[in-house]
């Protein structure tokens, strides 16, 4: 794709509803939109950071995208040197620089990755994957295989998850095993994968957080935790940066989820009446992906069953700072059959990506 196509793919009009703008941002995969008028003059930008702030503020996604745009973005004139671009990015802490002509039209969009990064940056954080559940929602499949070994094309779901982390520089994994653990161990035994895998074994089901009690000696720095049935197109470097900037003890990744009411909804107001056909609503839902500080391990009792909502509640009672990282990209929960089938169809079409 040439540079002019990149610019066109991220241009949106100011009156476009936010929800449609987010869909375009996800398709373009540039983490920015250029808001332009009818003559393609730049009037603002929307970055993924602007989107996160809007979601946390509860902005109505039916409002026009100009409601959340930055009307004074940093730009440079076309033909500026790479050194000038890098300097602006560093001084202003920005990841995108639109290059504009003398009429204020964007002719090129430069991104941090191409200006600074030649390869994926390695991250030292460990990734804990909760892989010990029985997967009862996927019965009878899970009578034979544990849920983490459910296939997505030619790989089990747990390997797809690990590959996605690895492609973003995260290579230290701890798998918390329980149900049919020996199958998972055998699959990874003696392989030549480029990442490191440690195993811990639950003697009894400990919930989605209880197995952390087995890791008290292994986790002394910031770490990530995920369920074994979640595939999300998350920028983990930005997630970790957000977690640290907010000084959170726990950061919950919340995904934007649309729900459509399959009926006509009756609306009444001051004795007036109308029918709204199949309205849709958007919510931030818990993805089952978290960033945690080792402080939380003190709240997990040895050998006691504990789920993540309970751990979060206990952390709140201790006045630990808890935050939400809004994620508006693709997210799949394959823990139930209909979602699994939809995920299979999606990946058959576009592949697994990075």
| pLDDT tens-digit readout, 240-255 | 999 999 999 999 999 9
Q: Return the higher-pLDDT residue of 353 and 59.
A: 59
pLDDT at 191: 66
Confidence tier at 354 by pLDDT (50, 70, 90): very low
The closest of 299, 309, 133 to 230, measured between CA atoms, is: 133
Cβ atoms of 333 and 230 closer than 8 Å:
yes
pLDDT at 337: 79
The closest of 46, 44, 45, 98 to 75, measured between CA atoms, is: 98
| pLDDT tens-digit readout, 298-326 | 999 998 999 999 999 999 999 999 999 99
From the options 3.90.550.10, 3.10.50.40, 3.40.140.10, 3.40.50.800, give the CATH code of 123-350.
3.90.550.10
- CA dihedral defined by 228, 232, 236, 240, rounded to 10 degrees? -70
Average the pLDDT over each of 153-157, 190-194, 341-345 and give the range with the smallest value: 190-194
Q: Rounded to an integer, what distance in angstroms lies between the CA atom of residue 125 and that of residue 195?
A: 13
Residue 164 has pLDDT above 60, yes or no: yes
Q: Rounded to an integer, what distance in angstroms lies between the CA atom of residue 343 and that of residue 151?
A: 11
Alpha carbon separation from 195 to 155, 166, 171, 333 (Å, rounded): 16, 7, 5, 24
Residue 6 has pLDDT above 80, yes or no: yes
pLDDT at 137: 78
Q: Rounded to an integer, what distance in angstroms lies between the CA atom of residue 325 and that of residue 246?
A: 10
pLDDT at 141: 75
pLDDT at 117: 65
pLDDT at 280: 80
| pLDDT tens-digit readout, 22-54 | 989 888 888 899 999 989 999 999 998 899 889
In this prediction the pTM is 0.78
What residues does each domain of the chain span? 3-116, 123-350
Q: Is the dihedral of CA 339, 179, 354, 89 positive or negative?
A: positive
Kindly state the percentage of the chain with pLDDT values over 70: 96
Confidence tier at 269 by pLDDT (50, 70, 90): confident
pLDDT at 3: 67
- CA dihedral defined by 218, 219, 220, 221, rounded to 10 degrees? 140
Residue 336 has pLDDT above 60, yes or no: yes
Q: Rounded to an integer, what distance in angstroms lies between the CA atom of residue 85 and that of residue 6?
A: 18
The closest of 128, 119, 16, 132 to 65, measured between CA atoms, is: 16
Please state whether 286 falls in left (phi above 0), alpha (psi between -120 and 50) or beta: beta
| pLDDT tens-digit readout, 89-117 | 888 888 899 999 999 999 999 988 778 76
pLDDT at 95: 87
Distance of CA 296 to the CA centre of its chain: 22
Residue 350 has pLDDT above 70, yes or no: no
Average pLDDT for 180-198: 86
Cβ atoms of 225 and 292 closer than 8 Å:
yes
pLDDT at 64: 94
Cβ atoms of 218 and 316 closer than 8 Å:
no
Confidence tier at 294 by pLDDT (50, 70, 90): very high
For domain 3-116, the CATH architecture is Roll (3.10)
Residue 333 has pLDDT above 50, yes or no: yes
Residue 142 has pLDDT above 90, yes or no: no
Q: What six digits make up the tokens of 323?
A: 């935050």
Q: Do domains 3-116 and 123-350 have the same CATH topology?
A: no
Rounded to a whole number, what is the largest CA-CA distance in the chain?
71
pLDDT at 70: 94
Confidence tier at 351 by pLDDT (50, 70, 90): low
Average the pLDDT over each of 102-116, 222-236, 332-346 and give the range with the smallest value: 332-346
pLDDT at 346: 78
Alpha carbon separation from 302 to 186, 306, 307, 332 (Å, rounded): 27, 10, 14, 32
The closest of 336, 329, 337 to 48, measured between CA atoms, is: 329
């Amino acid at each position: 794709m040439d540079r002019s196509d990149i610019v066109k793919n991220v241009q949106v009009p100011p009156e476009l509803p936010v929800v449609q703008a987010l869909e375009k941002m996800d398709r373009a995969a540039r983490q920015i939109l250029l808001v332009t008028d009818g003559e393609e003059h730049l009037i603002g930008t929307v970055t993924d950071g602007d989107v996160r702030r809007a979601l946390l503020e509860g902005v109505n996604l039916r409002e026009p995208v100009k409601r959340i745009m930055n009307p004074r973005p940093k730009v440079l004139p076309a033909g500026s040197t790479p050194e000038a671009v890098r300097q602006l990015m560093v001084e202003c802490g920005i990841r995108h620089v639109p290059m504009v002509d003398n009429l204020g039209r964007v002719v090129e969009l430069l991104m941090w990755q191409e200006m600074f990064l030649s390869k994926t940056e390695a991250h030292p954080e460990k990734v804990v994957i909760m892989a010990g559940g029985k997967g009862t929602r996927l019965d009878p499949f899970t009578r034979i295989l544990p849920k983490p070994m459910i296939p997505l094309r030619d790989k089990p779901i747990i390997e797809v998850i690990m590959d996605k982390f690895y492609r973003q520089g995260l290579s230290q994994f701890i798998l918390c095993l329980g149900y049919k653990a020996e199958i998972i161990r055998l699959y990874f035994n003696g392989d030549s994968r480029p990442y490191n895998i440690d195993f811990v074994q639950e003697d009894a089901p400990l919930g989605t957080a209880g197995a952390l009690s087995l890791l008290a000696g292994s986790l002394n720095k910031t770490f990530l935790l995920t369920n074994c049935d979640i595939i999300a197109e998350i920028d983990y470097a930005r997630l970790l940066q957000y977690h640290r900037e907010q000084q959170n003890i726990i950061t919950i990744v919340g995904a934007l989820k649309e729900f459509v009411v399959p009926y006509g909804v009756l609306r009444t107001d001051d004795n007036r009446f109308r029918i709204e056909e199949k309205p849709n609503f958007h919510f931030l839902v818990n993805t089952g992906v978290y960033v945690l500080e080792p402080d939380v391990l003190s709240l997990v009792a040895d050998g006691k069953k504990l789920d993540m909502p309970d751990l979060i509640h206990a952390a709140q009672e201790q006045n630990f700072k808890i935050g939400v990282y809004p994620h508006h990209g693709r997210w799949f929960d394959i823990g139930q059959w209909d979602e699994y089938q939809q995920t299979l169809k999606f990946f058959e079409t576009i592949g697994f990506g990075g």
